[in-house]
Amino acid sequence: MASLMNKITQFAKSPQGQRAIRQATDKAQQFAKDPKNRAKIDQLRSRLQGGGGRRPH
């Protein structure tokens, strides 16, 4: 498992990895700026924090 983490770390530090991270970050920010998506994100956040209203039996 450590070798997999090392490979991921090496990729993240490489120019290709940096570009991929930047693209994913930009895409996530654009997604979050959309009002419809923002509402979905807020709903999910409130459910995960215990404010969803439904409780398991």
pLDDT, tens digit, 9 for 90 and up, residues 1-57: 789 999 999 999 999 999 999 999 999 999 989 999 999 989 999 999 986 555 555
Place of tokens 């999910």: 44
Give the residue ranges of DSSP H helices in 1-57.
2-13, 15-33, 35-48
Residue 18 Cα distances to 5, 30, 31, angstroms: 16, 18, 20
For the whole prediction, is pTM greater than 0.75?
no
Instruction: Supply the DSSP symbol for 1.
Output: -
CA dist., res. 43 & res. 21, Å (int): 26
Residue 32: predicted pLDDT? 87
pLDDT score recorded for residue 39 = 92
